[in-house]
Amino acid sequence: MANSLHAVFHAIANVRNEQELKRALMDKIGEHFGVQNWGIYLLDEPPTAEIDVPGIPAVCLESNPVGRYVVERHAPAHEQLILSPGDWKHICPRHDHEHVMTGPIVCDGHLVGTLNFTRDKGNPAFNANDLADLSALCLHLSAKMATLRTKPKISNSFLISPLTARELEIAELVAQGLTNAEIGEKLWITQNSVKQALKRMFRKLEVSARTEMVAKLHSISPQQSEQIN
């Protein structure tokens, strides 16, 4: 079990952006915890960013004791840690929420999301080992989120630019590791529009690859930008 948890830690470490979190974990995390349903819920995540995994609705953080415990303490919890046996079913009658466990994802001292697990009726309750593993996992997720959210933004670090505002938006999403299709979906434009925009951006910056473009945008100075213009 320890090895499988280390595989999850490794997957988190290799994530390049928030959109990849669910994809990176979907094949590993449910098996490790022996759950039927699980989900990562980010508080400021747009609905279009949802990834198709065996998901559960986000734990309603303010309306049940497990959610309130996580919000107040920034610590993981399961229903039997807080409630007497049987009390949970008076709060949540769903058959696929027989047992629940939730952990916090914290960034800069603020709760930015939760990691949620449920087991169906007839499955064992979560125990102290599950809670310890969830706590370790939430630490790795929180550290990764802090790293991802403190990366310098191209649009901030390169205010004077040969690119238009829309092209800078595209460049920012390229830097986050998104594909042309994902960029198009996020910006409500076609995949071909993204492709044509990248061609123009490459010509303006005199580069031939996405990674080269991102590196040049981060390294270019205002004086160099004026020369390009």
169-226 per-position pLDDT tens digit: 899 889 888 899 989 888 888 899 999 999 999 998 889 999 888 888 877 544 443 3
For the stretch 85-126, pLDDT in tens is: 778 877 877 777 889 999 999 988 888 889 999 898 889 999
Please state the rounded mean pLDDT for residues 53-75.
70
Backbone angles phi, psi at 38, to 5 degrees: -155, 165
Residue intervals of the chain classified under CATH 1.10.10.10 are 154-228
CB < 8 Å & 24+ apart, contacts of 68-76: 70/102, 70/103, 70/104, 70/111, 70/114, 71/111, 74/104, 74/106, 74/111, 75/103, 75/104, 75/135, 76/101, 76/102, 76/103, 76/104, 76/131, 76/134, 76/135, 76/138
Rg, the chain, Cα only: 21
Q: Write the CATH number of the domain with boundaries 154-228.
A: 1.10.10.10
pTM (two decimals):
0.62
Residue 150: other Cβ atoms inside 10 A: 9
Percent of the chain clearing pLDDT 70 (strictly above):
80
Mean pLDDT of 131-159: 78
State the span(s) of the chain assigned CATH 3.30.450.40: 2-149
For the domain with range 2-149, which CATH number is right: 3.20.20.120, 2.60.40.10, 3.30.450.40, 3.90.1150.10? 3.30.450.40
Write down how long the chain is: 229
Closest CA to 199 of 186, 188, 208: 208
Identify the band that residue 229 occupies on the pLDDT scale cut at 50, 70 and 90: very low
Phi-psi region of 109 (alpha: psi -120 to 50; beta: other; left: phi over 0): left
Instruction: Tell me the two tokens of residue 88.
Output: 């949970």
Spatial distance between the Cα atoms of 100 and 33, rounded to a whole number of angstroms:
12
Q: Which helix (H) or strand (E) holds 39?
A: strand 37-42
What are the φ/ψ torsions at residue 161 (nearest 5 degrees)?
-140, 150
- In this prediction, residue 50 carries a pLDDT of 40
Tokens standing for residue 108: 């800069």
